[in-house]
Structure 1
């Protein structure tokens, strides 16, 4: 069912985020995201030759995570093709600090702390959430037991469907199940291993 019919209006801005997951021939996976911001009108910008034209990307950025089946990130590449200021692309290489981390509990928090404020790029950072969920969908196993193992490491308590209070968790991952009327203590929360720390090789 679509949204309800709006009042008369005019399109001003379109943000598009496209994510894709690729299985590589070397046993790893590439998860890629591309974000663009495009306006339907000219925007004054002295740093971009006086203005950014209608239909010309105000932001145009890419990120690729190369990871293995356990969600360990082997390589990160980020590119800024279009931005408001000429110095913006200089921050893209900093996202390689994600190399050696693992998508799972605590990963988003670690990324937020690593790239907060002037240490990161708002729009590249925004790509991390859809990249993570795209990685999960790309590597989603076909065997039920593997699905539950993946859920325990990555999905548990990340959304309503995978709440540790759900009957599904009691059935398939009983050691992580907590009744809905039970307070989750720090000790119980730590039962889900935070495997987002860096892997040193």
Structure 2
């Protein structure tokens, strides 16, 4: 269902985040995130005051790539910044090598914030790590399923992770009836 009709307006800014997953010939996976910020009007940047950034030219154009195995261990990490508002911005890209040795699992986002929040990193690259992590799950899903061949008795890893996978909901009732908990639905309505 699309968004409702908006009021009359002028587009000023577009942020684009693109994430892609690649299966490598060596059995590892590259997950890449790319972020751009583009204005529809010319703007002057304090650190680059010799000429304005013209409409359609990126203010931010930065990427991060992690290389993982199917257990979500980060084997390699590299970041780059093609366009930034300040000349000092790219000096932080090597900090993202600290991702090497981490595992995308519970606590990953918290650990990334510990490593790269504030002056320890770039706000935009830190923002990219969330979608990169979820892209890792999406990109490798079929390969992991082919290896693991989960039995019907195993608890789905998506159970109770969102409203669709609520253990008292219709999706779980239909596809994983052994994990369906109608009592949970009744209990939550009694609390309300």
TM-score by length of 2: 0.80
Task: Report the Cα offset of residue 162 of structure 1.
Answer: 4.8
Report the 3-state secondary structure (helix = DSSP H, G, I; strand = E; otherwise coil) of the residue aligned with 2:21.
Answer: strand
RMSD between superposed Cα atoms in Å = 2.9
Map of 1:199 onto structure 2: none
2:135 pairs with 1:134 = yes
Distance 1:138 1:149, change over 3 A: farther
Map of 2:102 onto structure 1: 101
Q: What are the within-5 Å matches in structure 2 for residues 19-168 of structure 1? A: 19-48=19-48, 49-141=50-142, 142-143=145-146, 145=150, 152=157, 158-162=161-165, 168=172
Map of 1:197 onto structure 2: none
Provide structure 1 residue ranges, at least 5 long, that are not aligned to the other structure: 183-201
1:6-56 deviation line (CA, Å, top 9, x unaligned): 111111001101111000000000000110000000111132234211111
- Between 4-13 and 20-29, report the one with greater CA deviation: 4-13
Provide structure 2 residue ranges, at least 5 long, that are not aligned to the other structure: none
Instruction: Find the aligned partners of 1:85 and 1:147 in 2 and give their Cα distance.
Output: 53
- Between 60-69 and 45-54, report the one with greater CA deviation: 45-54
Map of 1:18 onto structure 2: 18
Q: Assess if the C-alpha contact under 8 Å between 1:151 and 1:162 holds in 2.
A: no
Task: Report the Cα offset of residue 2 of structure 1.
Answer: 1.4
TM-score by length of 1: 0.76
